[in-house]
Amino acid sequence: LVECDVSDDRNVKDLFDNVSKQCEIVDIIVHSIAFANRENLVGRFIDTERDGFRVALDISAYSLISIARHGTPLMTNGGSVLTMSFQAAERVFPGYNIMSTAKAALENEVKQLASDLGPDNVRVNAISAGPLDTLSSRVITGYRDMKKSHAERAPLRRNITPEEVANTALFLLSGMSSGITGEVVHVDTGYNIMGI
C-alpha cells in the first residue's frame, strides 16, 4: 500500500514513481475516489459555496485526470482505466447535491481521456452503479425509498449486488473488453432505461 493525497499532484507523481520502482508495467488503474464536505450534502444545491464546490470537484473528478496523467505512462503495453460513477451524474438525487456535479464532470472526463489515450492503446471507462449500501449512498436523502423504488421499477425487479459491479469491473479491465472505451456502463438491473 502507498498513501496518496490526490489533492496534490506531487503526491500522485510520487505514488507512480514508487510504483515504477516495483513494476515496470501497469496494466490497470481503478479510480474509486470521491469526497465532498458534509455541509454540501444537505440542504439545497443552490447554497453550495465556492470552496465546497472546488473541493468536491478536485477530489472526486480532477483526481482522475491527475492519476491518468501520471499513471498511464507506465501502461507501455496499453491498458485500462476504470472509474466509478452513479446515475446522479444524469439526474437529480436530493441530498447528493455537489457530488452529482462531480460525477457529471467525471463522466465527461472518461470520454475526453479515452480520446487522448486511445492512440496509446489505453482504454478509459466508467461504471454507473445502481444503489449499493455504501458510506456515500447513506447521505442521499430518501436512500431507502430510492432503493425500494429501484427494485420495483427496474426491469429485473431487484437491486444490484456488489458482485455484479465487481464482475463488470473485471470485464472492463480485461482484454475481453478490448473494443470498449469512453463508455459509462450502467450496472443497475436496467433501471436507467425506464421512463418512470
Residues with active-site annotation? 96, 103
Residue pair 136/94 in contact (Cβ under 8 Å)? The answer is: no
Residue pair 170/136 in contact (Cβ under 8 Å)? The answer is: no
User: Which grid coordinates belong to 66?
Assistant: 491527475
Distances (CA, A) of 137 to 19, 126, 146: 32, 18, 10
What per-residue string of b and e applies to 57-96 under the rule 16 or more CB within 10 Å gives b?
bebbbbbbbbbbbbbbebbeebbbbbbbbbbbbbeebebb
- What secondary structure letter does DSSP report for 134? S
Report the distance separating Cα 36 and Cα 134, nearest Å.
15
